[in-house]
Amino acid sequence: MTNKKYGHFDDEHREYVITDPQTPWPWINYLGNEDFFSLISNTAGGYSFYKDAKFRRLTRYRYNGVPMDNGGRYFYIKDGDTVWSPGWKPCKTPLDFYECRHGMNYTRITGRKDGVEASILFFVPLKTWGEVQKLTLKNESKDVKSIKLFSFEEWCLWNAATDMENFQRNFSTGEVEIEGSVIYHKTEYRERRNHYAFYGVNVPVQGFDTDRETFIGLYNEFACPDAVMEGRPRNSHAHGWSPIASHYIEVTLQPGEAKDFIFLLGYVENEQEEKFAAHQVINKDKAKAMLARFDTTEKVDAAFAELNAYWDSLLNIYNVETGNDKLDRMVNIWNQYQCMVTFCMSRSASFFESGIGRGMGFRDSNQDLVGFVHQIPERARQRIIDIASTQFPDGGCYHQYQPLTKRGNNDIGGGFNDDPCWLIFGTVAYIKETGDFTILDEMVPFDNQPGSEVTLFEHLRVSFDHVINNLGPHRLPLIGRADWNDCLNLNCFSWDPNESFQTTENKSEGSKAESVMIAGLFVVTGKDYVALCRRTGRDEEADRAQKHVNAMEEAVKQHGWDGEWYLRAYDFFGNKIGSDECEEGKIFIESQGWCTMAGIGLEEGLVGKALDSVKERLECEHGIVLNNPAFTTYHVEMGEISSYPEGYKENAGIFCHNNPWVIIGETVAGRGEDAWEHYKKILPSYVEEDRQTLHKVEPYVNCQMVAGKDAFRPGEGKNSWLTGTAAWMWYTVSEFILGIKPDYDGILIDPCLPKTAKEYTVRRRFRGAEYEIHVQNPDGASKGVKSVTLDGKALDGALVPFVPGKHVVEVIM
Ligand code: GLC
Ligand code: GLC
């Protein structure tokens, strides 16, 4: 496969610049970072929603369409007989110039045709429930241009799931109002909804359409709507069927002249008593107020400057200069940006997650915190409380919850026995970043039941105890429905294709299925728990917990070691999984990652051996695969993992999320060279350089999975954006490779480097203080800090104490 480049990084502007609209897959971006969100592809496809992609969907999207990525916020320009779109789609008229710049929560798409340039800046202003679209039309020709401009959005009838299935109802419910240049979407507002949406523009219009069939024509396509092709809006008023919003504007441009048009897609909620202005007339006050905030170029530019300043401040918290631009741009820009997106979206809305499936995952959201907590600790704090509120009194947890209601999701329930550990993981990260121990005293309910509140610390205790109260015959943790690997379903035994692997457990009573991965995870988070107890004066509890941690390490050494690597699990019957004795799936990555991170058997050489086995059996050109050999047949006693063809997803795919576990394991063993080599393989900027065609998905963020060595096309990426990989890549590089580790009383300096790394500087804001940390590695050491000075004074050890103010730290390896 010959590689083609579709774009390049522009680090100065923190943008990825796409120069060819026909990317191997839609390359998307996210607008909004708090309540209102939009997904936008490089051809302006995608959709918008308020808080919850399932329950508050503003605009419609068709997944997996033909052609790909159909539907979005579209502009049609009719210039004489030529009709074109600045983002190439939907018209697909060949353009004289095309460029899409994805930046930090904004996207700018520019197209040029026959002497007219159209450039649209899309963004969600801070603290705003709406998407601004600033369109600039410019006449670059020598003639006067008379252009007909049409905008287009298609409303979703709010619930994105029923919107795609319940047509006997939907085709009769749609309602709109049109007033001036604003089109209001008010379906179901007459009854139980107290929210509506609107799409407006800051200039008078010469026409509009709100009925899809009238605008496009029943057998037409987005590419060539009747109204646009004829250059004549129908002024249609939608009653039922499929309401849309399209403005029609006639524009005359003198040679060299440019004009701005500001469109706003907004969302409004009204109090019950204030819903209507008159009989059947919605109260438009809030919409008008929002429109007024963005009705001039100056106001929009100011809002955009505010958004950029916001990102300046977020990205100034951790900044590295290594001289390697591929590393620097990922650490300073894109990895941190992806962490914000995964924090906001969890696994709900992307071009691989439909937004109608999953809400917030218990384990996923806790892991996402680790990549985000340094950015906005207050939001991380609230998230921890929300997550903990979905825990059960015995420490078990709902596996998912809905962002709008914050309630545990009954469809999937609980029983994933790794879940509780992640609460400790997330909370410890928060306290280390902020020094805010008061979070431990917050009163937090179980299963959101009023009256059941206990302190957050108590939630951590029951989390810890959930593992030790659920041990199997080898004193290893029982796996339950699954551990981190949702597809290792050891209690499921499903022969029915209509059952879900995750929620069907027909044999868990009396099961012996145990997870060595949870054992490793428990040792890592258990040590954290012990340290937290000590730091907060809970010595007795620390002693008690330490005993269990020690016992777990022993159990792994005795029953979790296979000779050259750590076992993965014991199945329902007590048979080994991930052992040399197995025919397929002899070795798995998860237990190698967690047991090496935990340092189990470090002195005895187990860690080094396991890491070598990973290199020998799991590593390939594109990263580390999950298991090897891949499963070639369905194993009913293992479930979904063996349902995937070889090399994909959990069956020997490169599941990027877990590669960092091994990388951290390498740093525990002090093997800086190996850590760096593994890290580089899945670092997007390296892939970007020479594998854009093969990799297929966005080259500026990590994807969940890259096809493994057993796949038909190794190296092909899928499921971009919403993956724990973001937080884990961040945690790995910031804390374990560059070695800047927030700790309870300061910053611990503990890099693990390849020999070639001679020098770098990290600027780190920490609890309001600023540290400029120079690391020098004159002898090419991998690990071990020789000396640290703080503002010229030598420190005893590598912990830089937290002191307010500005500081310079010199580190010699
Ligand atoms: C998906 C899930 C995550 C799970 C992983 C492995 O990324 O969101 O919870 O751990 O797959 O199965
Ligand atoms: C499937 C996927 C896995 C994901 C899970 C979520 O099992 O393979 O990656 O975590 O669905 O429910």
- pLDDT per position as a tens digit, 21-34: 999 999 999 999 99
Residues paired with 566 in a beta bridge: 561
Report residues whose beta carbon is within 6 angstroms of any ligand 1 atom.
Answer: 347, 361, 363-364, 484-487, 650, 657, 704, 723
Q: What is the pLDDT of residues 67-95, one digit of tens each?
A: 999 999 999 999 999 999 999 999 999 99
Separation CA 590–CA 363 (nearest Å): 15
* pLDDT at site 507: 77
Band (288; pLDDT cuts 50, 70, 90): very high
Bridge-based pairing of strands 57-59 and 746-749 is unpaired
* pLDDT at site 509: 73
Chain-wide mean pLDDT for the chain? 97
Ligand 2 atom 4: residue of nearest CA: 486
Q: What is the pLDDT of residues 765-796, one digit of tens each?
A: 999 999 999 999 999 999 999 999 999 999 99
Contact 183, 245 (CB under 8 A): yes
* pLDDT at site 359: 80
Residue with tokens 């407006």: 200
Q: What is the pLDDT of residues 511-570, one digit of tens each?
A: 899 999 999 999 999 999 999 999 999 999 999 999 999 999 999 999 999 999 999 999
Separation CA 40–CA 32 (nearest Å): 11
* pLDDT at site 189: 98
pLDDT exceeds 90 at position 410: no
From the alpha carbon of 658, which atom of ligand 1 is closest?
6
* pLDDT at site 411: 84
Separation CA 612–CA 634 (nearest Å): 29
Neighbours of 191 (CB within 10 A): 7
pLDDT exceeds 90 at position 170: yes
Select which of 52, 368, 486, 743 is catalytic: 486
Task: Taking residues 674-682, report their average pLDDT.
Answer: 98
The percentage of the chain sitting over the pLDDT mark of 70, rounded to a whole number, equals 100
Q: What is the pLDDT of residues 232-267, one digit of tens each?
A: 999 999 999 999 999 999 999 999 999 999 999 999
* pLDDT at site 531: 98
Angle value at C-alpha 590, between 587 and 593, nearest 5 degrees:
105
pLDDT exceeds 90 at position 622: yes
Q: What is the DSSP string of 45-88?
A: B--EEES-TTTSEEE---TT-SSSS--BSEEEEEETTEEE-TTS
Q: What is the pLDDT of residues 36-68, one digit of tens each?
A: 999 999 999 999 999 999 999 999 999 999 999
From the alpha carbon of 655, which atom of ligand 2 is closest?
9
Task: Taking residues 699-713, report their average pLDDT.
Answer: 98
Task: Taking residues 679-708, report their average pLDDT.
Answer: 97
Sheet order of strands, 569-570 included: 514-515, 569-570, 576-577
Distance 360 CA to ligand 1 centre (A): 12
- Contact 640 CB / ligand 2 (< 6 Å): yes
pTM of the model: 0.97
Cis amide bond preceding 243, omega within 30: no
Residue 486 annotated among the catalytic residues of the structure: yes
From the alpha carbon of 347, which atom of ligand 1 is closest?
8
